[in-house]
Structure 1
Amino acid sequence: MTADPKSSPLFSFGVPALFVWLWSTGFIGAKYGLPYAEPFTLLLIRMLLTLVLLGVLARLLKARWPGWRGAGHLAVTGLLVHGCYLGGVYYAIQGGMPSGIISLIVGLQPLVTSAVAIMVLNEKVSVRQWLGLVLGLVGVCLVLLEKFGLNDTSGGFPAWTLIWAALSLGGISLGTVYQKRRGTGADLVSGTIIQYMAAASFFAVGAFAFETREVEWALPLVLSMAWLVFGVSIGAILLLMWLIRRGAASQVASLFYLVPPVTALEAFILFDERLGLLAMAGGCLSIAGVAMVVMRPPPVNKQ
């Protein structure tokens, strides 16, 4: 009997690892692009370019389109997962909040998602998984404590940026649970298109209501936009929707614990930001926490 390749260890761990890496590069791309365009304007351009490419892909793959009710659920998911999350992160960074602090706040998502999943989806989370969630959060705190010096910069940004950070955290947490409950039956490509259309509408309203919409098309913006569209908006998001479809919401959310350590490694490679022993220890704790949440215990053979 041929084994299912999707159940192999390489597939089970390789796909989540690829998603974590792609998702982490979104922070790098935002850092490069934000000096040349305002947040909603930058995100609107990103969504529109992505929609064009996904439209071509949907035509080639002959994607199935959901009914009006399914499209409505997907639109809500898009507003939460893409609109609120990305808008909150970009505006918090634009307003002066250090990227380490916004990463730490968003890193609380697995705890929020697990709590919502328990209340809404009636998911059962074991003691081992709760311990893994806490361990992962401690690891993220250690990484960011050393890398960004949170004890020295906690008061160095406007208080109103916390509102954007809370919007981002709430959006990605609620959107993950909502997608698990309402949006898992849709075609991945057509479903993502509907989500991006909803997010693009949100960004368009914000850009025309609050921003000048001026863009400086410098080379760093062009390169970062290309990666944000192909690598993150298409690659990472399609993987995220696929992972949510296959796994419990709390388990998928735990993958986000790995994003700050991976981002720290990328910053070391790109910007020569050194990692000390505390940050490396925190990264190990995060990986251990994710493993405790994601890995299922072996089945017990009943005699």
Structure 2
Amino acid sequence: MHRALIRFIPFIFVFLWSTGFIAAKYALPFIEPFYLLFIRMALTSIVFMLLCFAFKIKPLRPRQAGHQMVTGFLLHGAYLGGVFAAIKWGMPAGITAIIVGVQPVLTAFLGWCFLDERLRLAQWTGLGLGLMGVISVLLSTGQLEYVNLNWTATLASITALFGISIGTLYQKRFGADVNLLAGSFWQYISVLLLMGILAWTFEARDVVWDLQLIFALTWLVIALSVTAILLLMYMIREGETAKVASYFYLVPPVASIEAWLLFDEYLSIVSIIAIFVTVFGVYLVVRKKPE
């Protein structure tokens, strides 16, 4: 891949990933969350199957496919299912994002423990600044109103946090030599089964097929589940897990800016300052070590 294009991959990923919150806000008035995720995963699986046929991708060995299904269960299933369930069970989206916002620090710590990835003091400082910035952005936008921290919603958000953190490390450990298209197909098959169980167990699966829902679902599949995930898998394969995870710090601030532009949501001076703190924290993590 061209070196100049590689530089922009993290920023393209952050933009696409941040739009998932916006697309979900457009879609959820017309469909229940687990059923939305089930349909999204079914369509995404079809897309990746067609891509594998189009590019004549060699099928994965059973062991490789199994590892990718575990990655999918953790990285997509536990994360998305946990976030949607936490919001569904009464936790405000902002509080959920704060809990999941610990992910870069948790991923870096787990990578240090299990993958022998060493971080410099400046990188640990950057992780801390990024976390402070994310929390400040969310708290300053008034997300603490009408908080309902029941234990089921809290458990769901913690599940999402550990799911995406452990999934990132698992993919780095067991998916480094796997074709991205074939690996993603098996990841989504795993999530499809999980969301099918959740939707048929807890939901009525009623859908209002509004044009807004169709557009949001199309964006979630093409931009998020296909393009953004392929970029994420590429970054995990090519980089240190702590550096990759640190880019998630940029998602809440970018999402806040998008919500300000699209929904006229309030963005305070404190939020703007916190965004710059977050960006600086990520810079400390990803910058090259001085010679």
On whether the aligned pair clears a TM of 0.5, the verdict is yes
Please give the residue correspondences for 1:199-278 in structure 2 after superposition, counting only pairs within 5 Å.
199-278=191-270
TM-score (norm 1): 0.93
1:5 counterpart letter in structure 2: H
Which of 48, 60, 68 lines up with 2:42 in the alignment?
48
- Give the unaligned 5+ runs of structure 2: none
Task: State the Cα distance separating 1:264 from its structure 2 match.
Answer: 0.3
Structure-1 separation of matches of 2:37 and 2:107: 25
* Other-structure match for 2:137: 143
1:176 counterpart letter in structure 2: T
Please give the residue correspondences for 1:42-81 in structure 2 after superposition, counting only pairs within 5 Å.
42-81=36-75
2:128 counterpart letter in structure 1: V
* Other-structure match for 1:38: 32
SS at match of 1:160: helix
TM-score (norm 2): 0.96
Structure-1 separation of matches of 2:162 and 2:177: 23
1:219 counterpart letter in structure 2: L
Aligned positions, number: 291
CA deviations on 1:109-139 (whole Å, 9 max, x unpaired) are: 0011011111111111111110000000011
Structure-2 separation of matches of 1:29 and 1:163: 25
Worse-superposed segment, 205-214 or 110-119: 205-214
Q: In 1, are the aligned partners of 2:92 and 2:143 still within 8 Å (CA)?
A: no
Over 6 Å off, 4+ runs: none
2:170 counterpart letter in structure 1: Y
2:113 paired with 1:125 = no
* Other-structure match for 2:185: 193
- Give the unaligned 5+ runs of structure 1: none
Q: In 2, are the aligned partners of 1:136 and 1:288 still within 8 Å (CA)?
A: yes
Task: State the Cα distance separating 1:157 from its structure 2 match.
Answer: 4.9
Task: State the Cα distance separating 1:194 from its structure 2 match.
Answer: 0.4
SS at match of 2:266: coil
Q: In 2, are the aligned partners of 1:76 and 1:198 still within 8 Å (CA)?
A: yes
2:152 counterpart letter in structure 1: W
Identity %: 44
Structure-2 separation of matches of 1:288 and 1:203: 37
Structure-2 separation of matches of 1:142 and 1:202: 34
Task: State the Cα distance separating 1:149 from its structure 2 match.
Answer: 4.1
2:174 paired with 1:182 = yes
Which of 2, 5, 13 lines up with 1:5 in the alignment?
2
CA deviations on 1:6-35 (whole Å, 9 max, x unpaired) are: 2x4x632x1100000000011111122222
SS at match of 1:148: coil
2:50 counterpart letter in structure 1: V
Structure-2 separation of matches of 1:281 and 1:140: 11
Worse-superposed segment, 24-33 or 223-232: 24-33
Structure-2 separation of matches of 1:148 and 1:202: 33
Please give the root-mean-square deviation of Cα atoms over the aligned residues, in Å: 1.4
Structure-1 separation of matches of 2:84 and 2:26: 12
Structure-1 separation of matches of 2:71 and 2:148: 33
Structure-2 separation of matches of 1:104 and 1:64: 40
Q: In 1, are the aligned partners of 2:82 and 2:156 still within 8 Å (CA)?
A: yes
